[in-house]
Amino acid sequence: MMKLEKKDILGIREMTVDEINLILETAESFLEISTRDIKKVPTLRGKSVINLFYEASTRTRTSFEIAGKRLSADTINISASTSSVVKGETLIDTARNLEAMNPDIIVIRHSAAGAPHLLASLVSQSIINAGDGAHEHPSQALLDMMTIKAKKGKIHGLKIALVGDILHSRVARSNIYGLSKMGAEVVVAGPATMIPRDIERMGVKVYTKLDDAIADADVVMMLRIQLERQKQNIFPSLREYAQHYCLNRNNIKRAKDDVIVMHPGPMNRGVEISPDIADDPNYSVILDQVNNGVAVRMALLYLLSGGNE
């Protein structure tokens, strides 16, 4: 019998290799359900999953919602604009209110790093971190790992480059933990303003030039550039960023011939990734990531559900 010992999924940092493998293998079995005519199994019938989103998100929320529904759980979406958040209710009070309604799992997205940890310390329900500030986004890293494993047959020994605004990226942090644990060589790249201090201690190599980072890479993961960072002088202009950090037909030749290109979305076409790379099925696995995302989230909901023993 396999079992996930955790009450919550807060980050990849706290996960063991066995746990990651269990989640990935479970997710692989869930892939098939999404190919059926009736894309639904009764497994979590009568369970309720609350998607508590304090930050706008379409794809992650939808992905969790579809995952819950395909497992027959009741999914309820609460977003900051429709909940009492705007009236100034604290996370603690929201948590206690939700707890009183007795859901089984709460999925939380929050702009403040650590908010899921606070929630997990307050309620008995399982908490899944769907992204907190620049901290972690564990389900994204798991779906990325699942995608890499499916395309490459393994993660161990691969060279994987993460390029972009590492400083503000929770996707980068979760992937650095996950991919390193699984035995990949992880390198990050971006202008020095986008590289967080002492990141080398996370076990990654740091490059400031795209070409150096992606040389001989098996996987290149491009991160979304957020325009509002320009105001913080993290970069001078999208134009200049795109000239030096956009993955295109030309520079991708530096990577391995069978390189795959990933992006957590939403993409800025022509900024961090050129459209012809994003749309090239020889390189891009971006839509596989989305498909695997539902399976990974089904696996998380499935493995976390169950009574308290």
- Taking the complex as a whole, how short is the minimal distance between the CB of residue 153 and other proteins, in angstroms? 17
Contacts of 83 (CB under 8 A, 6+ apart): 52, 89, 94
3 binds other proteins (CB under 8 A): yes
Member of 8, 19, 65, 132 binding other proteins (CB under 8 A): 132
Distance CA 141, CA 177 (A): 9
Nearer to other proteins, 20 or 286 (CB): 20
Nearer to other proteins, 35 or 243 (CB): 35
Site stretch for other proteins (CB under 8 A), options 126-134, 184-192, 244-252, 270-278? 126-134
Member of 17, 18, 36, 282 binding other proteins (CB under 8 A): 36
153 binds other proteins (CB under 8 A): no
Phi, psi torsion values for 297, nearest 5 degrees: -70, -30
Residues 61-120 that bind other proteins (CB under 8 A): 71, 90-92, 110-115, 117-118
Distance CA 121, CA 117 (A): 6
Distance CA 249, CA 260 (A): 13
Phi, psi torsion values for 262, nearest 5 degrees: -125, 160
Nearer to other proteins, 87 or 239 (CB): 87
State the greatest distance between any 2 C-alpha atoms of the chain, in Å, as a whole number: 56
Please return the burial class of 67, using the count of CB atoms within 10 Å of its CB with bins 0-12, 13-18 and 19+: buried
Residues 207-266 that bind other proteins (CB under 8 A): 232
Please return the burial class of 124, using the count of CB atoms within 10 Å of its CB with bins 0-12, 13-18 and 19+: exposed
Please choose, from the candidates 135, 76, 69, 114, the residue with its C-alpha nearest in 3D space to the C-alpha of residue 297.
69
- Taking the complex as a whole, how short is the minimal distance between the CB of residue 11 and other proteins, in angstroms? 9
**How many chain residues interact with other proteins (CB under 8 A)?**
57
Q: Which residues bind other proteins (CB under 8 A)?
A: 1-4, 13, 22, 25-26, 28-30, 32-33, 36-38, 40-44, 46-47, 71, 90-92, 110-115, 117-118, 132-136, 170, 173, 196-199, 201-202, 232, 299, 302-307, 309
